[in-house]
Amino acid sequence: MGCCGPEYRKAVNEKEEKINEKGKESLPFFIKILGATIVAGAIVAFLLVK
């Protein structure tokens, strides 16, 4: 088997795909939190100026 066996390579590729999928899911969540923070800050700023 070793590092060059077909089953080992298949397992590594599957793990890599799962890690990449997790990375794609976390980015939009971070953007949502960032957007909510900006909106909340804009509302607070609007209320303080008023």
DSSP 13-50: HHHHHHHHHHHHHHHHHHHHHHHHHHHHHHHHHHHHH-
Q: What is the pLDDT of residues 1-50, one digit of tens each?
A: 556 677 888 888 888 888 777 666 666 778 889 999 999 999 999 999 87
| ∠ CA 12-17-21, rounded to 5° | 150
What's the pLDDT at 38? 95
What's the pLDDT at 45? 92
pTM of the predicted structure, to 2 decimals: 0.47
What's the pLDDT at 11? 85
Report d(CA 37, CA 20) in Å as an integer: 26
Report d(CA 8, CA 32) in Å as an integer: 37
What's the pLDDT at 6? 76
